[in-house]
Amino acid sequence: MNILDFSATCPVPIAKYPQVMMAHGGGGTLMHQLLRDVFGKAFSNPILDAAHDSAQFAVPPGKLAMTTDSYVVRPIFFPGGDIGSMAVHGTVNDLAMSGARPLYLSCGFIIEEGLPMETLWRVVCSMRDAARRCGVKIVTGDTKVVDKGKGDGLFINTTGIGVMEHSLAIGPQNVQPGDAVIVSGDLGRHGMAIMAVRDGLEFESAIESDSAPVVEPVLALIKSGIAIRCLRDLTRGGLASALNEIAEAAGVKIAVEQNSIPVRPDVNAACEMLGLDALHVANEGRLVAFVAKEDAAKTLKILAGFSVSANAASIGSVVEKSEPLVVLRSAIGANRILDMPSGEQLPRIC
Amino acid sequence: MKYLDEYRDGALAQKLAAEIHRVTTKPWTIMEVCGGQTHAIVKFGIDELLPQQIELIHGPGCPVCVTPLEVIDKALEIAARPEVIFTSFGDMLRVPGSTTDLLSVKAKGGDVRIVYSPLDAVKIARENPNKEVVFFGVGFETTAPATAMAVYQASQLGLKNFSMLISHVLVPPAIEALMSSPTCRVQGFLAAGHVCAVMGYEEYLPLAKKYRVPIVVTGFEPLDILHGILMVVRQLEAGRAEVENQYVRAVNQAGNRTAQDLVKKIFKIVPRKWRGVGEIPQSGLGLGDAYAGFDADKKFGLTDRLVDEPAECVAGQILQGLKKPHECGAFGGKCTPEHPLGATMVSSEGACAAYYRYRRHETIAKLKP
């Protein structure tokens, strides 16, 4: 199966409705057609196909994990992904941060009147493919259409449920002095990809988003018996925010090495040009893992076996219980505080 | 990354630092003029590699920081108008005026847009003939040519819906003002490499001579800055006071004549108020008489505004090198990047923000790994 195949034409008769109209959210025939022919067709599975007001499923043994996230990315399509695949990856990744195997997703669509039907279809197909790749079923959903000018094309909310098939207590409270700090790949790509297309920056090569699921490597780590202390999805605020949050929650000092942190040269160049710090920039398919020191080498080896985490790197360690603090050893060998970014990342003047 | 990694080499940095230690026999106070250099110094921890006797003072070279309060207030007033698209470099958006900032004006419905070049603002003006497009022209000699080019293009295109709120400033008059102050402690300068890439460094020769002060034109990477410091210290130790050029890969004595000619054509030299410092004669660029039609001040009738700065903020003393950021009572408490009292806390190039960001909890013991 070609999972990126958009060639299948949109099942809603586009000649008749090339754009989403208010009536598509109005509860009548058009809405039913949209639900049946677009969402129902793409996401089809026995639970969804039951077409009940709520999805019904048996609960597997083990603790459940649940998370929700809303996706408002602009533009809807960007190099390396789109709002649909991101809405699946992001929520699935949040489940993975508990070491949970993702089972079910809900999806809520808020569509602005006038959105091309073809665009909606492409996004839905992308969600379908992403869900298949992640082994997760979309079992319930909702659609609202808002007046032209009251939305930004398309917003998606997804809620995910996963099952924890392990007994590890994964969370910042388990972080201990001596733990190794490992990132699953190069940093900053998603944020710079979005900034480049949004602001019409013309870099020589297109930076593509890192949007991807990190479920497989996480489940592999658990299966191999690695004592994972903490996992964190490196989204908005980047590595710097994640490390500071963990230092704060765990009451520890974390030390990392600038030279060990993987950042692609083109991302680095774009950041330098705009006066941004790659460690503050968002990712959509990267995690930081805290594991026992003796598990570090094995963790890196396992991560290296998956394409999404092929460039995993050990970047530092937890130094001691202390006032929360993240220290970065700079490229020239001096130490400085790695702080959380303050507010929105604004490009510098010079 | 090419042209960057070479200048961030840890081993070479340690060598340069060792050489600075070797040649330093007395305490010296050196000012880096440019905010970009301040940023690099704290980001890479360069001052940690220096001998105790060398004190770095962070100078007034952050264009965002020195833009006076009344100009920010004018920007806020213009940006809030319904017929206006207000365009600016990103980091001006967070700078607090007397009451609010541009980000808040945007949140309330003002059309405020970040641009990466003043020429983008000209493009927006062409595409929106029914809107008044205003560009916030701030910065030193480095950004002045691009601002000048935007005015020139707008004038060639005959655009009537484009104007500029100008607060451009010049480095040499600021150095002169600092050196002529009786409280001045600065013994040597790192001059801003990118300013000199445009302007050359001829105008620094009389300053070095008059005030007997070494001035070294310096780049922005860690090895540049360490090398610049080494060159200043060598001069100080030898009792020399000359203009030297560390940043030879980008700067020559004459500078970029084309850019200078354009700046001269569009702008005239005017007195300018610097936030935290006060008015410095002949230290700013304003639109020349032939281009007065592009002056947003006049277009929106906002000339003659004056605003006093909050008394609590010691940004002025910080910009003059009289105080370090953490010596201010409000630092990190009442004044943070989220709630800045003064502009040195706002821009990431501002001395206070740089200290806050990279040194907040600093004690030497804690920073030891």
Cis status, amide bond into B96, omega within 30 of 0: no
Q: Which residues contact B92 (CB under 8 A, 6 or more apart)?
A: A349, B64, B67, B75, B102, B136, B138
Instruction: Give the pLDDT confidence of A267-284 residue by residue, as tens digits.
Output: 998 898 888 899 999 999
Q: Check residue A69 and give its pLDDT.
A: 96
CATH number at residue B123: 3.40.50.11740
Please list every residue in chain A whose beta carbon sits closer than 8 Å to the beta carbon of residue B63: 349-350
Q: What is the mean pLDDT of residues A199-210?
A: 79
Q: Which residues of chain B have pLDDT under 70?
A: 1-2, 348-349, 359-369
In this structure, are B268 and B127 located in the same domain? yes
pLDDT at A134 over 80: yes
A-interface mutation test, from B39, B123, B142, B358, most A Cβ less than 10 A away: B358
Domain membership flag for residue B308: no
Evaluate whether A99 touches A287 at the Cβ level (below 8 Å): no
In this structure, are A224 and A115 located in the same domain? no
In this structure, are A204 and A131 located in the same domain? no
User: Is A58 exposed, middle or buried (CB count within 10 Å of its CB: 0-12, 13-18, 19+)?
Assistant: exposed
Residue B254: both structure tokens together: 């004459």
What pTM, to 2 d.p., does this model score?
A: 0.86
In this structure, are A107 and A216 located in the same domain? no
pLDDT at A301 over 60: yes
Residue A216: both structure tokens together: 């497989």
Domain membership flag for residue A215: yes
Residue among B64, B359, B367 minimizing CB distance to A349: B64
In this structure, are B75 and B194 located in the same domain? no
Which range of residues forms the domain containing residue A235?
172-337
Measured in angstroms, the CA of B182 and the nearest CA of chain A are apart by: 31
In this structure, are A193 and A210 located in the same domain? yes
Asked whether the beta carbons of residue B10 and residue A319 sit closer than 8 angstroms, the reply is no
Residue A94: both structure tokens together: 């949040």
**Domain count within chain B:** 3
Any alpha helices (H) in chain A, and if so which ranges?
29-34, 41-43, 46-49, 83-96, 117-134, 189-198, 215-223, 238-250, 265-274, 296-304
A-interface mutation test, from B2, B88, B89, B198, most A Cβ less than 10 A away: B89
Domain membership flag for residue A271: yes
CATH number at residue A133: 3.30.1330.10
| Distance from the Cα of residue A109 to its chain's centroid | 18
In this structure, are A259 and A186 located in the same domain? yes
From first CA to last CA, the distance across chain A in angstroms is 49
Domain membership flag for residue A124: yes
State the average pLDDT for chain A: 91
Domain membership flag for residue A146: yes
Instruction: Spell out the SS3 assignment of A11-75.
Output: CCCCCCCCECCHHHHCCCHHHHHHHHHHHHHHHCCHHHHCCCCCCCCCCCCCEEEEEEEEECCCC
Question: For chain A, how are helix, strand and coil distributed in percent, rounded to 5?
Answer: 35, 25, 40
Is pLDDT larger for residue A314 or for residue B116?
A314
In this structure, are A111 and A259 located in the same domain? no
Domain membership flag for residue B365: no
Residue A125: both structure tokens together: 């197909």
In this structure, are A130 and A194 located in the same domain? no
In this structure, are B348 and B286 located in the same domain? no
Domain boundary residue among A164, A184, A206?
A164
Domain membership flag for residue A323: yes
Q: What is the mean pLDDT of residues A203-230?
A: 93
Instruction: Give the pLDDT confidence of A75-121 residue by residue, as tens digits.
Output: 999 999 999 999 999 999 999 999 999 999 999 999 999 999 999 99
Asked whether the beta carbons of residue B222 and residue A329 sit closer than 8 angstroms, the reply is no
Q: Check residue B360 and give its pLDDT.
A: 59
- Is residue A260 less than 8 Å (CB to CB) from chain B? no
CATH number at residue A297: 3.90.650.10
Please list every residue in chain B whose beta carbon sits closer than 8 Å to the beta carbon of residue A327: 366-367, 369
In this structure, are A181 and A303 located in the same domain? yes
* CA dist list (Å): A269 to A191, B5, B71, B78: 13, 11, 33, 35
In this structure, are B225 and B263 located in the same domain? no
Domain membership flag for residue B310: no
Name the residue of chain A whose CA is nearest to B143's CA.
A350
Evaluate whether A252 touches A321 at the Cβ level (below 8 Å): yes
Asked whether the beta carbons of residue A348 and residue B43 sit closer than 8 angstroms, the reply is no
Confidence of residue A4 (pLDDT cuts 50, 70, 90): very low
In this structure, are B75 and B115 located in the same domain? yes
CATH number at residue B223: 3.40.50.11750
Q: Check residue B367 and give its pLDDT.
A: 47
What is the Cα–Cα distance from A34 to A177, expressed in whole angstroms?
Answer: 54
In this structure, are B264 and B159 located in the same domain? yes
For strand B28-34 and strand A180-183, is the pairing parallel, antiparallel, or unpaired? Answer: unpaired
In this structure, are B81 and B184 located in the same domain? no
Residue A262: both structure tokens together: 């993987």
Asked whether the beta carbons of residue B9 and residue A319 sit closer than 8 angstroms, the reply is no
Name the residue of chain A whose CA is nearest to B88's CA.
A349
pLDDT at A2 over 70: no
Domain membership flag for residue B181: yes
Please list every residue in chain A whose beta carbon sits closer than 8 Å to the beta carbon of residue B10: 259, 331-333
Domain membership flag for residue A208: yes
Coil, helix or strand for A185? Answer: coil
Please list every residue in chain A whose beta carbon sits closer than 8 Å to the beta carbon of residue B338: 342-343
In this structure, are A207 and A130 located in the same domain? no
> Per mean pLDDT, which range of A13-17, A264-268, B27-31 is the poorest?
A13-17
Measured in angstroms, the CA of A317 and the nearest CA of chain B are apart by: 10
Domain membership flag for residue B131: yes
Please list every residue in chain A whose beta carbon sits closer than 8 Å to the beta carbon of residue B64: 349
In this structure, are A126 and A77 located in the same domain? yes
In this structure, are B15 and B69 located in the same domain? no
Measured in angstroms, the CA of A297 and the nearest CA of chain B are apart by: 21
Evaluate whether B138 touches A349 at the Cβ level (below 8 Å): yes
Strands (E), chain B: 28-34, 54-61, 84-88, 111-114, 132-139, 162-169, 188-192, 215-218, 243-245, 267-274, 278-287
A-interface mutation test, from B115, B120, B345, B357, most A Cβ less than 10 A away: B357
Evaluate whether B63 touches B35 at the Cβ level (below 8 Å): yes
In this structure, are B103 and B237 located in the same domain? no
The ipTM assigned to this model is: 0.78
In this structure, are B175 and B163 located in the same domain? no
Asked whether the beta carbons of residue B357 and residue A339 sit closer than 8 angstroms, the reply is yes
In this structure, are A182 and A325 located in the same domain? yes
pLDDT at A168 over 70: yes
In this structure, are B87 and B214 located in the same domain? no
Domain membership flag for residue A125: yes
Domain membership flag for residue B368: no
**Domain count within chain A:** 2
Asked whether the beta carbons of residue B91 and residue A333 sit closer than 8 angstroms, the reply is no
In this structure, are B265 and B207 located in the same domain? no
Q: Check residue B307 and give its pLDDT.
A: 80
Residue B351 C-beta-side C-alpha neighbours within 13 Å: 27
Domain boundary residue among A134, A164, A194?
A164
Domain membership flag for residue A1: no
- Is residue A323 less than 8 Å (CB to CB) from chain B? yes
Q: Check residue B365 and give its pLDDT.
A: 43
| Distance from the Cα of residue B52 to its chain's centroid | 27
Please list every residue in chain B whose beta carbon sits closer than 8 Å to the beta carbon of residue A322: 366
Q: Check residue A347 and give its pLDDT.
A: 67
In this structure, are A149 and A225 located in the same domain? no
Q: Check residue A311 and give its pLDDT.
A: 96
Looking at this protein, which amino acid is placed at residue B95? V
Which range of residues forms the domain containing residue B35?
8-62+171-245
What is the Cα–Cα distance from A263 to A267, expressed in whole angstroms?
Answer: 7
Domain boundary residue among A125, A143, A164?
A164
